[in-house]
Amino acid sequence: MKQSPSLIGPSGEETVLPTFLNLPPDKRERVVEAALVEFADKGYQQASLNTIVAASGIAKGSIYQYFRDKKGFFLYLFDFAVARVRRTLVQVKEASAHQDFFTRLEKSLLAGVEFIRRHPRIYGIYLKILFDRHVPRRDELLRAVRRFAADYLGSLLRQGMARGEVRADLPEGTAVFILDALLDRFLQAASVPAFDVALDLDRAASPELEQRIRELVDILRRGLAR
Amino acid sequence: MKQSPSLIGPSGEETVLPTFLNLPPDKRERVVEAALVEFADKGYQQASLNTIVAASGIAKGSIYQYFRDKKGFFLYLFDFAVARVRRTLVQVKEASAHQDFFTRLEKSLLAGVEFIRRHPRIYGIYLKILFDRHVPRRDELLRAVRRFAADYLGSLLRQGMARGEVRADLPEGTAVFILDALLDRFLQAASVPAFDVALDLDRAASPELEQRIRELVDILRRGLAR
DNA sequence: GCTTCATGTGACCACCTGGTCATATCGCGC
DNA sequence: GCGCGATATGACCAGGTGGTCACATGAAGC
């Protein structure tokens, strides 16, 4: 859990202070876990440092020795969350490199669902910044995540085209948009209640999720037209 | 602006009090407009009645003569917003009834974009409940909206199948999911900054939006596979 | 003219927040 | 043993919130 690359945030301001990095690992994890729970549930604005203090058993003043302020705390957490997501996607991409485009798409969806079910808070933090313009650096953070997802999917798509599995006459931007939209939406529906009334994915067990993923990818493969 | 159907909320509690309904129309609109601005921007929890008071020029105590509490105020606003959306969708459906499935899909997307650009606050209120489980009656409200959208798209799809325009072997739930996902996502991307790095829809002018819609619907029609 | 009902007002209240800071303890080096 | 740096603590502060309520005004009915 060495996080030295985040000591200096993207704009040169400290997001985390040295005291935090010097903590014993179990104590550091306690702070991170309590903050993940609170920020993922409440979003940036409503998340309360007092709640994090109570849940972690750390004194209020100490939190300000670890991070300059609430914003710094949040940005550190977001960095942490994004790094976790990226690692996963890179692994999926490499592990499926020898398979065809549509299989890779299925594998990505499956890995995505597995990730959010194992790390609901990390996904929750991401969801909470989507529509809240008051999150510090929201546009920048979101753009970084979305850029990563688009690059990932764009790369899959180009490889699929090069191998003759995907039509080469596609407008790439729109195709990436569709893939991105469906991937993210599927994860949201699998994660958030009342979101999806067509499939009820948030209550679905693995076999059903897999079936739905196969159907979705098949529709993408063949289109809707008769 | 007679809103008598919402006097009694869905669970029998008053969401709006008679005094509000007796107000002169321009005063009522002032209250609604100030509340729309605040709830759409801040979401339920962060929205401040004090801000609405200041923006509308209505006394704080008077707000409590119009609605029992913040929750009632919000539920009334949500009802109002949903009714507006429904009217629009019903109109689009009827106006495109004689056209083929894919044209109707394009028309729906276009109408959706036009709506959110004309009523950004109504759309904003909807976006703010998606991932916030602390919104009063969130699941119920969201399910009602999503149900309406799914029924609308399901109906289009079944009509398209019946006319031989759409494959009849589609798993309907998954097809509706895809249409729903892409419609909503397109609107989000057209509405919210930094959301979409593939197409930058939030900055797009009408001709480009139309082009993107045509591309998207064409991909749906023909699929991705070579 | 008095009473009642309808409507309007904004100071006040208890509670919550992010952030501050005086105080305390421990370990290390000189 | 003393001083310094590192770390920990929680009461306190100013500002903000949703909601209350005593007071005020106007109109209508008797």
pLDDT, block means (10 residues), chain A with 226 residues: 39 73 92 96 97 95 95 95 88 87 94 93 96 95 92 94 94 96 96 90 92 97 91
Please give the nucleotide, over all strands, whose C1' is closest to the CA of residue B65: C7
Q: What pLDDT digit, counting tens, does each position of B38-86 carry? A: 999 999 999 999 999 999 999 999 999 999 999 999 999 999 999 998 8
Residue type, A143: R
Query: Hey, of B129, B139, B177, B188, which one would you mutate to test binding to chain A, going by the most A CBs within 10 A of its CB?
Result: B177
Q: Is A41 on the interface with B (CB under 8 A)?
A: yes
From the candidate CATH numbers 1.10.357.10, 3.40.605.10, 1.10.340.30, 3.40.50.300, the one assigned to the domain spanning B4-222: 1.10.357.10
Mean pLDDT for B207-215 is 96
Chain A: nearest CA to B25, how far in angstroms?
A: 32
Rounded to two decimals, the ipTM of the complex is: 0.90
Distance between CA B20 and CA B142 in Å, rounded? 26
How many C-beta neighbours within 10 Å does residue B19 have?
A: 12
Paired tokens of B165:
């325009």
Helices in A57-168 by DSSP H: which ranges? 60-66, 70-95, 101-118, 120-130, 138-162
Instruction: Give φ, ψ of B43 to 5 degrees.
Output: 75, 170
* CA-based radius of gyration for chain B: 20
State residue B88's pLDDT score.
86
Long-range contacts from A62-67, C-beta under 8 angstroms, 24+ separation: A63/A31, A65/A17, A65/A19, A65/A20, A66/A16, A66/A17, A66/A19, A66/A20, A66/A23, A66/A31, A67/A15, A67/A16, A67/A17, A67/A20
* pLDDT over 90, % of chain B: 81
Please give the nucleotide, over all strands, whose C1' is closest to the CA of residue A73: C18
B167/A224 Cβ within 8 A:
yes
